[in-house]
Structure 1
Amino acid sequence: MTDSGDKKQLLHLVFGGELDDLTKVEFRDLNKLDIVGIFPDYATALTAWKAKAQQTVDNAHMRYFIVHMHRLLNPAE
């Protein structure tokens, strides 16, 4: 639960890197992945994703993703 106790914690990971091929999700160099952070909800993760995507708009191979970690941690839900 969150500090307020009234909202369920739904963790989201934002990360990105340069893709090898724009038609696939395969990164050029896994050692250079940019881990932006883990966020408590989708809205916060989306804000972080937009900021990073905007910073790298000039690099067509750079992509950022939002991973719904809460779905991986509790797949039955």
Structure 2
Amino acid sequence: MTAHSQESEQLLHLVFGGELERLDGATFRDIDDLDIVGIFPNFASAEKAWRRKAQQTVDNAHMRYFIVHLHRFLSPQQHD
């Protein structure tokens, strides 16, 4: 497999979270306190990390984690 074909198969995803100001919004209480879980090479691994962090914080209703499809920003014409 060439470096180019490996690169085209990467669908990078960012997992991050933090405490929200309100349950019905997506505004964080403290941007400086965001939890950057990491960048993952595919949705499956990002979802696994997201589930793990969401489960760890289940007792805090204001804590939310998100998956951002970074590959859509890097290559807007590419779809997954």
Q: C-alpha displacement at 1:76, in angstroms?
A: 1.9
| Percent identity for Structure 1 against Structure 2 | 65
Which ranges in structure 1 are unaligned for 5 or more consecutive residues?
A: none
Partner of 1:18: 19
Distance in 1 of aligned mates of 2:16 and 2:45: 14
Q: Write the letter of the residue equivalent to 1:33.
A: L
Cα shift readout 1:14-66 (whole Å, capped 9, x = no counterpart): 00000001111000000000000000000000000000000000000000000
1:62 aligned partner: 63
Structure 1 CA distance for aligned equivalents of residues 25 and 54 of structure 2: 18
How many aligned residue pairs are there? 75
- Output the aligned Cα RMSD: 1.7
TM-score for both structures, normalised by structure 2: 0.87
Q: For structure 2, list consecutive stretches of 5 or more residues without a partner in the other structure.
A: none
SS in 2 for 1:15: strand
Structure having the higher helix fraction is 2
**Alpha-carbon separation, structure 2, partners of 1:60 and 1:46:** 19
